[in-house]
């Protein structure tokens, strides 16, 4: 039997990370099955090669999932690696986002992964080997405003992965959780397109912030998708694959936030707002751009430090102020990539 690994990747439309996963695993001498929904099969035509085949797969359909796995088994006789990549965004305030949209996000991002796992596990158990790679997100660990549907769907993927890792250990099946940071893909554009369908009522005054969050991962120093995919492929194919793969722009910041107190995490998206809060205070700006003109952060006189975390891609704009009665030495600024941003 050939030593060539057989890999199934879900969600492989051109412009997405799945497309790059296919090329990365093929470069590693794997035989890859690139899959997506019927409407996007044309996007996969450029992937066709000696090492890459394509097939239709809708992860929200039991029938489609069964058919895809049976097709792989009939063509290659085994499946070594499942890359659970298919996913959609879910941008909008949870208190106002339609439940049908939230339900669809869970159906694709969470149940879609579990549906594929349930289909592939019996074959991997028979082989006594296999790797299941679930794509989570750094925001599944540290949720951000305006993307609650997406964040919670990915948080569920994290819990599923940790549970399965123990349950599948007796069958020598590895479960690997991937936590991408900000990776360049078509996700931001798709998120913005969907926002055109909504007319916020309660959150109408926050529309600009919601739009900014929709495209936040796709601007500035976002990691190239091909580079990210090659990194993941290398780790997954290593003799002892890690339990988690955390890689990409802003993963360091989100790792730090995951260890910070909840009250610190909740001070997110401070933009165009006036904040008067007790010490100790962590102020976090996670937008794709800078604090805007007129934004003010005011802190009371106290002997404890202020930690201001600005994760945007550019500097404070004219008119933005951080005012504290304490000397400069009493506060710190963490701004990945642009440490000197006050002008």
What is the 8-class DSSP label of residue 100? H
Q: Which of 150, 198, 203, 330 is catalytic?
A: 150
Do the strands 173-180 and 52-56 form a parallel or antiparallel pair, or are they unpaired? unpaired
What was the pLDDT predicted at 250?
A: 79
Please report where in the chains the tokens 């879910």 appear, as a residue.
Answer: 90
Q: Is the peptide bond before 280 cis (omega within 30 degrees of 0)?
A: yes
Burial (CB < 10 A; 0-12, 13-18, 19+), residue 73, is: middle
What is the pTM for the complete model shown? Answer: 0.78
User: What is the Cα–Cα distance from 102 to 319, expressed in whole angstroms?
Assistant: 38
Q: How far apart are CA 271 and CA 287, in angstroms?
A: 8
- What interhelical angle do 207-214 and 187-195 show, nearest 10? 150
Place of tokens 């002008």: 343
Per CATH, which fold does 6-251 belong to?
Answer: Rossmann fold (3.40.50)
- Are 40 and 13 within 8 A, CB to CB? yes
Cα–Cα distance between 98 and 149 in angstroms, integer?
10
Q: Which residues pair with 234 in a beta bridge?
A: none
> Who's near 159: CB < 8 A, 6+ residues apart?
none
What element of type H or E holds 50? none
198 is catalytic: no
113 SS3 class:
helix
Q: Are 91 and 142 in contact (CB under 8 A)?
A: no
pLDDT tens for the chain, residues 1 to 343: 468 999 999 999 999 999 999 999 999 999 999 999 999 999 899 999 999 999 999 999 999 999 999 999 999 999 999 999 999 999 999 999 999 999 999 999 999 999 999 999 999 999 999 999 999 999 999 998 999 999 999 999 999 999 999 999 999 999 999 999 999 988 777 888 888 889 999 999 999 889 888 887 777 788 999 999 999 999 999 999 999 999 998 788 778 777 766 655 565 444 333 333 333 334 444 444 444 433 444 444 433 334 444 444 434 343 334 443 433 333 333 333 333 222 2
Task: Give the length of the chain.
Answer: 343
The rounded Cα 111 to chain-centroid distance in angstroms is 16
Report the alpha-carbon distance of residue 119 to residue 130 in Å, rounded. Answer: 13
């Amino acid at each position: 039997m050939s030593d060539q690994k057989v890999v199934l990747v879900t969600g492989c439309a051109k412009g997405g990370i799945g497309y790059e996963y296919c090329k990365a695993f093929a470069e590693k001498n794997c035989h890859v099955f690139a899959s997506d929904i019927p409407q996007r099969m044309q996007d996969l035509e450029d992937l066709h090669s000696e090492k890459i085949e394509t097939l239709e797969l809708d992860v929200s359909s039991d029938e489609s999932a069964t058919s895809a796995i049976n097709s792989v088994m009939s063509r290659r006789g085994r499946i070594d690696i499942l890359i659970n990549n298919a996913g959609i965004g879910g941008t909008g305030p949870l208190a106002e986002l339609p439940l049908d949209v939230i339900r669809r996000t869970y159906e694709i991002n969470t149940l879609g992964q579990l549906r594929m796992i349930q289909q592939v596990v019996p074959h991997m158990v028979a082989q006594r080997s296999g790797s299941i790679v679930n794509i989570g997100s750094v925001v599944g660990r540290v949720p951000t405003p305006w993307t609650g549907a997406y964040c919670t769907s990915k948080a569920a993927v994290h819990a599923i992965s940790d549970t399965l890792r123990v349950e599948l250990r007796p069958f020598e099946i590895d479960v690997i959780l991937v936590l991408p940071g900000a990776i360049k893909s078509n996700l931001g554009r798709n998120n913005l397109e969907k926002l055109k369908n909504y007319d916020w009522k309660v959150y109408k005054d926050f529309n600009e912030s919601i739009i900014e969050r929709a495209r936040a991962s796709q601007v500035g120093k976002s990691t190239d998708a091909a580079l990210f995919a090659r990194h993941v492929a290398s780790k997954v194919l290593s003799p002892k694959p890690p339990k988690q793969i955390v890689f990409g722009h802003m993963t360091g910041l989100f790792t730090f936030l995951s260890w910070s107190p909840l009250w610190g995490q909740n001070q997110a998206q401070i933009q165009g707002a006036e904040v008067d809060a007790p010490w100790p205070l962590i102020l976090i700006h996670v937008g794709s751009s800078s604090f805007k003109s007129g934004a003010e952060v005011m802190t009371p006189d106290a002997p404890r430090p202020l930690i201001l975390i600005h994760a945007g891609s550019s500097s404070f704009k004219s008119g933005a102020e951080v005012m504290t009665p304490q000397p400069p030495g009493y506060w710190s600024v963490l701004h990945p990539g642009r440490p000197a941003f006050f002008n």
